[in-house]
Amino acid sequence: MNISLQNRVPQVFLIIFLAFIWGSSFLMMKRGLIAFSADEMAALRIVIACLSLLPFAIKSIKTLSTKHGKWILVAAFAGNGVPAFLFAYAQTVISSSLSGMLNSLTPLFALLIAVLFFNVTVKPIKIIGVLIGLTGTIALVYTSNSSAIDSNYWYSLLVLGATGCYGLSVNVLKEKLAELDAATITSLSFLTIAPPCLIYLLIATSIIDTIQTPSGLTSLFYILLLAVFGTSLAVVLFNKLIKHTSSVFASSVTYLIPIVAVFWGFIDGEVITWIQLGLFTIIISGVSLVMRSDKPTT
């Protein structure tokens, strides 16, 4: 993971790369849900990600300071554990395209949490951006599926909850765990939350039987891709990006994630309306105001 991020060009390139990986993750989740339940898919994703990062965790745990322990725990649950389950349950009802669009709220939550809990000073233009983004999101959720508005509303809130968790996580990574390298943070985070997920899978589910079915093997393949690339690799790179920029700048990757998610959703036959695209544009306009005066550090 020896990537230099000392200037703007590699930072922007990494954001584009992460957007492609995470934008594709929504389709992978959709495929994983064909054979597995939402909780099984989320738990599998966490366990596989932990296994892929285990060498880093074993090496890092010996040098971990006690002062970082509680913040690793917060980053583990807010940045990886809780969102994995919220997104999985949300996509049992809403489309991968809509999930990707709502995920663009992450920079707004990153800013709000930075102001409320980390004493960051905010400019009026950013407050306006937050209000515009939230207005667009409420309208997007409301118009996303008129035939099932109550169901869509509640499941869309799961995605908003996940983006709120991400907003908390990026601030913790920037403000409380800046001394640790990205691989250490990521591997120890997954090592923290993977054991209970593994116990749940082995005791409370019939996952072994499911894997042995044709559809189970196919879904497992997509979950493997999701865990190794969309989770392990992507989170390490994202955590590295945060260390060299600001939490709000790093979370601007969610500008591009919906574009990739909408593209894959369209290829997969999902219906995307002009109203949704218009409201998504409003959300992005609000987020861009939030980001306009934010300058990454090098």
- pLDDT tens for the chain, 298 residues long, are 455 556 667 777 888 888 889 888 888 998 999 999 999 999 999 999 999 999 989 888 877 777 888 899 999 999 999 999 999 999 888 887 778 778 877 877 888 888 888 877 767 777 787 778 777 776 766 665 544 444 566 788 898 899 999 999 989 988 888 888 888 888 999 999 999 999 999 999 999 999 999 999 999 999 999 999 988 888 888 888 877 776 666 766 776 777 787 778 778 887 777 877 787 788 778 767 766 655 544 4
pTM of the predicted structure, to 2 decimals: 0.81
**In the numeric block, which tokens belong to residue 253?**
């990757």
- In this prediction, residue 5 carries a pLDDT of 58
Q: Which residue has the tokens 């990600």?
A: 49
- In this prediction, residue 252 carries a pLDDT of 66
Q: Which stretches within the chain are classed as H helix? A: 8-32, 38-52, 54-61, 66-76, 82-90, 96-102, 106-117, 124-143, 149-175, 182-204, 207-211, 214-227, 234-244, 247-250, 257-267, 274-292
CA gap 29, 45 in Å, rounded: 10
- In this prediction, residue 149 carries a pLDDT of 43
- In this prediction, residue 2 carries a pLDDT of 53
Residue 242's nearest CA partner among 184, 187, 161, 181 is: 181
CA gap 279, 286 in Å, rounded: 11
Residue 189's nearest CA partner among 89, 41, 61 is: 61
